[in-house]
Amino acid sequence: MGQKILVVEDNELNLKLFCDLLGAHGYEAEAVRDGREALERARAFAPDLVVMDIQMPHISGLELIEQMKADAELRATPIMAVTAYAARGDEERIRDAGAEGYVSKPISVVRFVEAVAGLLEAAAERAAAEPEPADETPEAVADRQDAAEEGEAVAETESEATVEEADAETEPLEPPRHSRESGNPASDGDAEGGGEEEKLDPGSSPG
Ligand code: MN
C-alpha cells in the first residue's frame, strides 16, 4: 500500500523513532524537523496522514493543526497529534484545533501504530462515503466513530513497549510566543508554561 505519512517533529530521536516505526509497517514516512515548513511540505507530499508534534520551537503544533484545517487542500488529511504533556485540557484544545487523533508521549509503539492505522481507515471510509453521501449507513457512521475513538483511547492506555521521554528531556520547552498572534483564545493556559508571558521587563518602562 505504502500510504504516505508526514511526520512533523522537532526532536531528532522521536522523529527517527516515528519514521522507523512507520516504515517498518509499510508506510512511506516523510520527516519534517521545522514546523515552519510543515504546510509547504504537506502540500508537496500530499500525505494520507500527518503525525504532528505539539511542542515545537517557532510554531506550535496546535497552530499548525488550525492552519491545516483552515486550508482547503489539506483540510481532509487526518492529523494525529503527539504531545509530551498530558495536562487536563490539552486533549480538548488539540481536538478543538481539529486533530482527529491524539497520542501522548512517551508513546507505546503498538498503540501508536494502531492509532495511525485507525485514523487512516476512518479517513478512507470518509473519502469513500463522500461521493454518495446517501449511501452512508448508520453502521458506517458508527464504525467511523469507533475508529476515531480508538485514536483517542491511545492516550489513556498504559504503555507496553514504552519509549523514553526523550522529547521532554532534550528539547528546550519554549513558551509559545507565537500563540498570541494566532488569536487563539485558549492558548494562555498554564499547561504550556504561559506564565512566562506575564513577566514584566523593567528595562522597557518609559518612566
Ligand atoms: Mn517537540
Residues 10-33 have pLDDT tens digits of: 999 999 999 999 999 999 999 999
Distance 88 CA to ligand 1 centre (A): 19
Distance (Å) of CA 128 to CA 14, 57, 116, 134, 144: 33, 37, 18, 12, 12
Cell numbers of 138, please?
Answer: 448508520
Residues 42-55 have pLDDT tens digits of: 999 999 999 999 99
Q: Which CATH class name applies to 4-202?
A: alpha beta
Q: Rounded to an integer, what distance in angstroms lies between the CA atom of residue 70 and that of residue 176? A: 20
Distance 51 CA to ligand 1 centre (A): 12
Distance 1 CA to ligand 1 centre (A): 29
Predicted TM-score (pTM) of this structure = 0.64
Domain coordinates in residue numbering, the chain = 4-202
CA dihedral 182→51→154→148, nearest 10 degrees, is 80
Q: Which residues surround ligand 1, an ion (CB under 5 A)?
A: 10-11, 53, 55-56
How is the beta sheet containing 79-83 ordered, strand by strand? Answer: 28-32, 4-8, 49-53, 79-83, 101-104
